[in-house]
């Protein structure tokens, strides 16, 4: 039995590990493009409409968006969820419910309020930004 797992995971049986890694990379790139809209939506409109005499600096500022969104916010959220893992969790909760449960587990009495305020602020800034894009673009 150990030989079956060792051979299949090391790639001797057709590169299962390599194919799995490539598929995970493709999934990550797709989700990142959806998360930050990398060149697909509102982010380019915001940077394209900026009034600047130094477009290179604007490009550098644009590159900070995925850093904050993907690396910092998503990684911290994932760490909160992973550190709040409870044995016997059957995986039925997902999305905002899972995140709220994790924040409440790690920050009792404060986690749900923090996440609720963050969600409200995100929703409000999204509405204001979309209205601005509709007016300017």
pLDDT tens-place string over residues 9-53:
665 656 666 677 778 778 877 776 666 665 566 777 777 778 888
Does residue 20 belong to any structural domain of this protein? no
> Which H or E run includes 103?
helix 95-106
Q: Bigger pLDDT: 103 or 43? A: 103
pTM, 2 dp:
0.59
User: Are 50 and 11 within 8 A, CB to CB?
Assistant: no
Reported confidence tier of residue 124, pLDDT bands at 50, 70, 90: very high
Residue partners of 126: CB distance under 8 A and separation at least 6:
none
Q: CA angle at residue 103 from 94 to 121, to 5 degrees?
A: 90
Instruction: Return the pLDDT at 120.
Output: 93
Domain encompassing residue 116: 53-136
Does residue 10 belong to any structural domain of this protein? no
Distances (CA, A) of 100 to 17, 107, 112, 116, 120: 33, 10, 6, 8, 14
Reported confidence tier of residue 7, pLDDT bands at 50, 70, 90: low
Does residue 17 belong to any structural domain of this protein? no
Per the structure, the count of domains in the chain is 1
pLDDT tens-place string over residues 59-80:
888 888 777 777 788 888 888 8
Does residue 118 belong to any structural domain of this protein? yes
Does residue 31 belong to any structural domain of this protein? no
Q: Count of H helices and E strands in the chain?
A: 7, 0
Instruction: Return the pLDDT at 39.
Output: 55
């Amino acid at each position: 039995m150990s030989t079956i797992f060792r051979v299949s995971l090391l790639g001797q049986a057709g590169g299962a590990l390599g194919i799995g890694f490539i598929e995970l990379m493709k999934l990550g790139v797709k989700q990142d493009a959806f998360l930050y809209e990398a060149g697909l939506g509102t982010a380019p409109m915001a940077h394209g409409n900026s009034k600047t005499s130094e477009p290179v600096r604007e490009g550098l500022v644009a590159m900070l968006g995925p850093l904050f969104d993907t690396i910092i916010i998503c990684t911290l959220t994932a760490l909160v969820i992973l550190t709040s893992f409870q044995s016997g969790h059957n995986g039925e909760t997902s999305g905002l419910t899972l995140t709220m449960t994790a924040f409440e587990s790690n920050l009792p009495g404060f986690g749900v309020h923090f996440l609720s305020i963050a969600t409200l602020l995100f929703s409000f800034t999204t509405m204001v930004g979309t209205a601005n894009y509709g007016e300017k673009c």
